[in-house]
């Protein structure tokens, strides 16, 4: 008969080694023996085959390699503790059958010093990375003029679902770091009090360990989810290009919310491509035609009017013009606010071309090409064709 197993999430970081030990001993008291810890991290238990099972968890003093580890594990084995599992920063030991071994640690002060010696290595590495990142950021802010700095988030970030989802992981990672730091501080102070009182080092809070692991797990899921969303978004994109035939593109553009040259009374333009890309925060439609110049439409239907406002204003702040293929380039020609009967509108006039940026409700539209801005019918044509109601 197949042995039943039990699986439980292993909530514990290195700092939680004492809480992990208490938890494992609780499982042992309920008749469960640890088989191992799988990625997740998930602790897998089998029914215990003995009643004298005890667990001990130790902070890794060896770095987990070579002769040092071998000698350490042999000493533990001789002392009645058999290694069951090793996770980064900790060893998990089970008592050897028939043996009631002495506790691993009999000197709380030394135990705490050992723990912080281990952490110091990680802290030093983290500090070095932090200093490098801070130096690079400081150099960036001092060297690059404010007007030329790339912001952390821009309208272009919203176009890629993988970035949108992954970006949610950033604040979670920051929260995890803050919670970890707070746990370390609390544990250090509690440890000092315990040592002064001559008692054993305390265990960290199991609830705090769970909270940290949940946050880390959600952040990891978002990072992976972001990567997957990138593929999903690409798969959902619908494109018709001139390679499918000019007639096919023209037919698709007839009902799409885009501006065509024939809407402006111009003939002989060739449709290049029509793309529809759904997204988490906005749906995008891109269209371009070609004659001696290009006529480009980009339409963004955002999930909320507030998002559309931010999107439009960020495009203006970035001072970009749209190019074929949906690429945005900085422009030397400024965007200026104008009144065209829409909630927000801006124009940019170049040499032989102009660009109109509009926002109405939750829709943002950009049209770039040989537009006659003096034509009084233009705003109505744009409203009708771009479906800005």
Partner 1 sequence: MARKKMDTMTEQMFYVLLALRGERHGYAVMQYILELTEGRVTVGAGTLYALLDRFERDGLIRQTRIEEKRKYYRLTGEGDRALRDECRRIMQQAADMERVLREEGRP
Return the number of the residue (104 or 175) whose C-beta is nearest partner 1.
104
Beta pairing class for 363-369 and 354-360: antiparallel
Residue 361 found at the interface with partner 1 (CB under 8 A)? no
Q: Where are the beta strands (DSSP E) in 75-143?
A: 81-87, 90-95
- Phi-psi category of residue 94: left, alpha or beta, with phi > 0 → left and psi -120 to 50 → alpha: beta
Which of 366, 15, 345 shows the shortest CA–CA distance to 202?
Answer: 15
Residue 102 found at the interface with partner 1 (CB under 8 A)? yes
Residue 100 found at the interface with partner 1 (CB under 8 A)? no
- Contact (Cβ atoms closer than 8 angstroms) between residue 219 and residue 172: yes
Measured from the CB of residue 70, what is the shortest distance to partner 1 in angstroms? 5
Displacement of CA 93 from its chain's centroid (Å)? 35
In order of 16, 99, 121, 197, 358, the CA distances from 90 in angstroms are: 10, 22, 14, 26, 58
Of 29, 42, 71, 177, the one binding partner 1 (CB under 8 A) is 71
Reported as half-sphere exposure (CB side, CA atoms, 13 A), residue 46 has a value of: 9
**Distance separating alpha carbons of residues 135 and 159, to the nearest angstrom:** 30
Residue 353 found at the interface with partner 1 (CB under 8 A)? no
Number of residues located near partner 1, criterion CB under 8 A: 25
Of the candidate spans 47-55, 106-114, 151-159, 167-175, the one that interacts with partner 1 by CB under 8 A turns out to be: 106-114
Of the candidate spans 6-14, 104-112, 137-145, 269-277, the one that interacts with partner 1 by CB under 8 A turns out to be: 104-112
Residue 10 found at the interface with partner 1 (CB under 8 A)? no
Residue 58 found at the interface with partner 1 (CB under 8 A)? yes
Residue 110 found at the interface with partner 1 (CB under 8 A)? yes
Of 26, 52, 107, 372, the one binding partner 1 (CB under 8 A) is 107
Of the candidate spans 36-44, 95-103, 215-223, 284-292, the one that interacts with partner 1 by CB under 8 A turns out to be: 95-103
Q: Which two tokens stand for residue 274?
A: 């029509």
Question: Taking CB under 8 A as the criterion, which residues in 183-222 touch partner 1?
Answer: none
Of 78, 238, 375, 380, the one binding partner 1 (CB under 8 A) is 78
Q: Which two tokens stand for residue 236?
A: 């959902």
Residue 357 found at the interface with partner 1 (CB under 8 A)? no
**Distance separating alpha carbons of residues 24 and 92, to the nearest angstrom:** 9
Of the candidate spans 98-106, 288-296, 315-323, 324-332, the one that interacts with partner 1 by CB under 8 A turns out to be: 98-106
With the C-alpha atoms ordered 43, 49, 53, 56, is the resulting torsion angle positive or negative?
negative
Residue 120 found at the interface with partner 1 (CB under 8 A)? no
- DSSP H or E run through 295: strand 294-302
Opening angle at CA 262, ends 260 and 268, nearest 5: 105
Question: Taking CB under 8 A as the criterion, which residues in 167-186 touch partner 1?
Answer: none
Of 26, 70, 238, 244, the one binding partner 1 (CB under 8 A) is 70
Return the number of the residue (82 or 293) whose C-beta is nearest partner 1.
82
Residue 25 found at the interface with partner 1 (CB under 8 A)? no
Residues contributing to the site for partner 1 (CB under 8 A): 56, 58, 61, 67, 70-76, 78-79, 81, 101-107, 110-111, 113-114
């Amino acid at each position: 008969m197949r042995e039943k197993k039990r699986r439980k999430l292993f909530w514990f970081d290195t700092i939680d080694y004492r809480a992990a030990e208490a938890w494992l001993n609780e499982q042992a008291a309920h008749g469960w023996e640890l088989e191992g810890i799988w990625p997740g991290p998930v602790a897998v238990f089998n029914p215990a085959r003995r009643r004298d099972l005890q667990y001990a968890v130790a902070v890794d003093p060896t770095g987990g390699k070579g002769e040092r580890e071998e000698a350490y594990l042999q000493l533990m084995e001789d002392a009645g503790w058999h290694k069951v599992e090793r996770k980064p920063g900790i060893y998990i030991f089970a008592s050897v059958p028939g043996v009631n071994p002495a506790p691993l640690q009999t000197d709380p002060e030394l135990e705490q010093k050992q723990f912080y010696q281990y952490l110091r290595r990680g802290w030093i590495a983290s500090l070095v990375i932090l200093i490098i990142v801070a130096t690079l950021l400081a150099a960036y802010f001092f060297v690059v003029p404010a007007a030329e700095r790339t912001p952390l988030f821009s309208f272009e970030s919203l176009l890629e679902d993988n970035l949108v989802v992954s970006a949610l992981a950033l604040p979670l990672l920051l929260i995890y770091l803050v919670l970890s730091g707070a746990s370390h501080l609390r544990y250090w102070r509690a440890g000092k009090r315990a040592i002064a009182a001559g008692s054993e080092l305390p265990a960290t809070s199991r609830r705090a360990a769970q909270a940290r692991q949940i946050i880390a797990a959600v952040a990891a899921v978002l990072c992976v989810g972001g990567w997957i969303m990138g593929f999903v978004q690409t798969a959902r994109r619908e494109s018709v290009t001139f390679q499918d035939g000019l007639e096919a593109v023209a037919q698709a553009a007839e009902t799409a919310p885009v501006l065509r040259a024939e809407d402006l009374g111009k003939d002989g333009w060739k449709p290049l491509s029509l793309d529809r890309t759904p997204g988490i925060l906005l749906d995008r439609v891109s269209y371009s035609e070609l004659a001696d110049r290009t006529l480009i439409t980009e339409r963004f239907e955002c999930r909320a009017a507030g998002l559309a406002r931010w999107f439009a204003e960020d495009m203006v702040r970035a001072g970009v013009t749209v190019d074929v293929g949906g690429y945005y380039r900085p422009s030397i020609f400024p965007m200026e606010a104008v009144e065209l009967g829409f909630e927000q509108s801006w124009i940019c006039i170049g040499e032989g071309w102009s660009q109109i940026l509009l926002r109405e409700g939750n829709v943002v539209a950009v049209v770039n090409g040989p537009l006659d801005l003096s034509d009084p019918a233009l705003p109505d044509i744009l409203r009708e064709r771009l479906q800005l109601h």
